[in-house]
Amino acid sequence: MAEEFKRLDRELVYHGAIVDFYKDTVQVPNGNVVEWDFIGHKGAAAVVPVREDGKLLMVRQYRNALDRYTLEIPAGGLNGPDEPTRDAAARELEEETGYRSDELERLITIRTTVAFCNEKIDIYTAKNLIKTKQHLDEDEFIHVEAFSIEELTKMIMEGKIEDSKTVAAIMCYKDKYC
């Protein structure tokens, strides 16, 4: 591709706890200069916990952006840019579900919103779960529920599960293991 884009400036507009919001000034291939929004994200990890009976553990939690509860796979942000995503996935598994596993396998990597954000989520499967206890943050209220892959696929197709990481993870897991 002979088209060239050149970032002329990136101005931090807002520094948040989870994301940073920038205004980018970019020269596009025809020479015009445009401003684009960019959201910088530190990255995340997620996990598909698989019980011995084959059911997947899901977390139900309130999401402020949607003003409702959602059903998702356990996930969370990296503690820092150098934290291995496998470590983050293991941490989030135990924190959110009260289970741990020494058997995490990378399933898929997704980019959630490529038009304006660099968020990258590495998703793992976790098998041979060992019961521990949840370690929720003071602002987390998470309910753990178990579903068959058929139940989850049906919920996706009915629009009851819309979270992109969860949809991608469940469909990929189904294709790879079922």
Beta bridge partners of 39: 21, 117
Structural domain includes residue 61: yes
Query: Does one domain contain both 32 and 107?
Result: no
Query: Does one domain contain both 121 and 166?
Result: yes
Please check the confidence at residue 45 and state whether its pLDDT lies above 70: yes
Query: Does one domain contain both 69 and 148?
Result: yes
Query: Does one domain contain both 83 and 157?
Result: yes
pLDDT band at 19 (very low <50, low <70, confident <90, very high): very high
pTM for the full model?
0.94
- Determine the pLDDT at residue 81: 83
- Determine the pLDDT at residue 155: 98
Handedness of CA 160, 166, 170, 172 (dihedral sign): positive
- Determine the pLDDT at residue 105: 98
Structural domain includes residue 1: no
Nearest to 39 by CA among 120, 122, 108: 120
- For residue 35, the enclosing domain spans 6-40
Q: Domain tally for the chain?
A: 2
**Could you give the residue numbers annotated as active site?**
138
- Determine the pLDDT at residue 2: 58
- Determine the pLDDT at residue 3: 83
Query: Does one domain contain both 111 and 51?
Result: yes
Query: Does one domain contain both 32 and 48?
Result: no
CA distance 42 to 38: 13
Structural domain includes residue 60: yes
Please check the confidence at residue 167 and state whether its pLDDT lies above 90: yes
Please check the confidence at residue 36 and state whether its pLDDT lies above 80: yes
Residue 115: which CATH number? 3.90.79.10
Phi-psi region for residue 20, left (φ > 0), alpha (ψ -120 to 50) or beta? beta
Query: Does one domain contain both 30 and 66?
Result: no
